[in-house]
Every structure is written in C-alpha cells, then in structure tokens.
Amino acid sequence: DAGVTQSPTHLIKTRGQQVTLRCSPKSGHDTVSWYQQALGQGPQFIFQYYEEEERQRGNFPDRFSGHQFPNYSSELNVNALLLGDSALYLCASSSGPGQGAHGYTFGSGTRLTVV
C-alpha cells in the first residue's frame, strides 16, 4: 500500500519562473494538505484541498495556488518564484479535512531551490 508520494524529489528553478509540484495521497485518503519547510524552521501550512476545493489556507500569498483532481491527487503551483521560496515542500493526506487531529503522515517532500 503506497503512502503519500511526491514528485519531483528535487528541483532547481530561476527567480521569476513558475513551478508545479505534485502529490498523490495515500490509498483511501481524499484530503491533501501542503506545507512549506524552510531551512531551520518547522513546516508551515500552505493550504488544504478536499473535494477539489481549497478548504483552508495559511498565510501565503496568491502566488501559491493549488488544485485537486478527481482522483484526489493534488498540485501546488508557485508563480514568480523568489529566492525565499527555496524550501522543502511537504504533502500530507488524510481521510477527511478534519482528520489532521490524528496526526499527519507526510510524503518525502520536494526540495525546491530557487537561484
């Protein structure tokens, strides 16, 4: 039974470019949450998708957008990349939007470097 899978594992982009990161939830899960973890910091909540809609959003600018597909997989898009967007991007899935109360299991993440 595959857990949460993310792609790509590593990515290098130039300032101003756009990037798309992908996440496939664990089998049986229908909710995907995205987190950004900068070096030396804890993960910060970006947003959560359920039933193909953004249900909750953290304190991130509109440059960060997402999408959820009918098969529950999700994409995170970041436009106009800044150097400060360099981070580990983590995806977590759950069964229902409130199930984070049981603790999330994260995918192995995508390490984005903006140069």
Interface contacts to other proteins, rule CB under 8 A: 31, 33, 40-45, 48, 55-56, 58, 88, 90, 94, 96-109, 111
* Closer by beta carbon to other proteins, 16 or else 96: 96
Contact residues for 103 (Cβ-Cβ < 8 A; gap 6+): none
* Closer by beta carbon to other proteins, 18 or else 105: 105
Q: Side chain identity at 73, as an amino acid letter?
A: S
Which among 9, 35, 38, 19 is positioned nearest to 80, based on CA atoms?
19
Task: State in Å, rounded, how far the first CA of the chain is from the last one.
Answer: 37
Give me the least distance between CB of 90 and other proteins, in Å please. Answer: 6
**Residue 71 tokens, joined:** 């098969």
Give me the least distance between CB of 16 and other proteins, in Å please. Answer: 26
Give me the least distance between CB of 113 and other proteins, in Å please. Answer: 13
